[in-house]
Structure 1
Amino acid sequence: MVRLGGTATANHMEVFEGLEKLFRRRGIDLEWVLYSGYDNMVDAFVKGEIDLAWNGPLSYVKIKRLAANGVRVIAMRDADINFTTHFITHADSGIDTMEDLKDRSFAFGWRSSVQAGLLAFSFLKDSGINPSKDLSANSFYDDRQPDSKSDERDVVERVASGEFDAGAVSQRVMETMAEDGTLPRDAVRIFWSSPGYSHCCFTSQNDLDPKL
Structure 2
Amino acid sequence: MTERPRPLMIGATAADPKRAVFIWNAIRKYFNEAGLETEYALYSTYDALGSAVLDGHVDIAWNAPMAHAQLLLRSPSACRTLAMRDTDEDVHSLIVARADAAIADLDDLRGRRLAMGVDISSELYLLPAAQLAEDGLDVESDCELVELEATEYYNLQRWVDDRTIFGAVLDGRADAGVIFEPWLGYLLRRHELAADDIVEVWRTRPYCHCAFTSGPSLSDDACEQFVELLVAMDPADPEIAEMMRMEHLSKWVRATDDGWSDIMGAVEQADLVGKIF
TM-score by length of 2: 0.67
Q: Which residue of 2 aligns with 1:145?
A: 149
**Does structure 1 residue 181 correspond to structure 2 residue 190?**
yes
| Shift in Å, 1:67 | 3.1
**Deviation per residue, 1:60-100 (Å, 9 max, x gap):** 22212333770222211101000111110112011000111
Letter in 2 for 1:181: R
Deviation at 1:35, TM superposition (A): 1.8
- Whole-Å Cα distance in 2 between the matches of residues 167 and 94 of structure 1? 14
Give the letter for the 1:20 counterpart.
R
Contact 2:104/2:199 (<8 A) preserved? no
RMSD value, Cα: 2.4
**Structure-1 residue corresponding to 2:65:** 57
What pairs up with 1:93-132 in 2 under 5 angstroms?
93-132=101-140
Separation in 2, partners of 1:97, 1:113: 23
1:162 aligns to 2:172 (yes or no): yes
Contact 1:108–1:120 (CA under 8 A) maintained in structure 2: no
Match of 2:10 in 1: 4
Structure 1 position 12, deviation (Å): 4.8
1:211 aligns with 2:225: yes
Distance 1:32 1:41 in 2: 12
Distance 1:187 1:158, change over 3 A: farther
Mapped partners of 1:111, 1:172: distance in 2: 20
The total of aligned residue pairs comes to 207
The answer on 1:194 being equivalent to 2:204 is yes
Paired residue secondary structure (2:52): helix
Kindly provide the CA deviation profile for residues 114-150 of structure 1, in whole angstroms up to 9, marking residues without a partner as x.
1112112222212211122111x203xxx52257977
Q: Distance in 2 between matches of 1:13 and 1:85?
A: 29
